[in-house]
Amino acid sequence: MAKEDRTDRFVSGQGDLTQPLCNFCLRDNQDGTCSAYPDGIPKQILIGKIDHRKPYKGDHGLQFIVDSDRKEDFDKYIKGHEFK
Residue 52, burial from CB neighbour count under 10 angstroms (0-12, 13-18, 19+): buried
Q: Which domain holds residue 53?
A: 20-80
Give how far the C-alpha of residue 2 lies from the chain's centroid of Cα atoms, to the nearest Å. 26
Q: Is 48 domain-assigned?
A: yes
Q: What is the pLDDT of residues 13-54, one digit of tens each?
A: 444 556 789 999 999 999 999 999 999 999 999 888 899 999
User: Cβ(54)–Cβ(33) under 8 Å?
Assistant: no
10, part of any domain: no
Q: Which residue from 59, 77, 79 is spatially nearest to 19, judged by alpha carbons?
A: 77
Does residue 34 belong to any structural domain of this protein?
A: yes
What's the pLDDT score for residue 47?
86
Query: With pLDDT > 90 as the criterion, what percentage of the chain qualifies?
Result: 60
Angle, vertex CA 72, rays to CA 22 and CA 33, nearest 5: 15
| Domains held by the chain: number | 1
Q: Is the pTM of this model over 0.95?
A: no
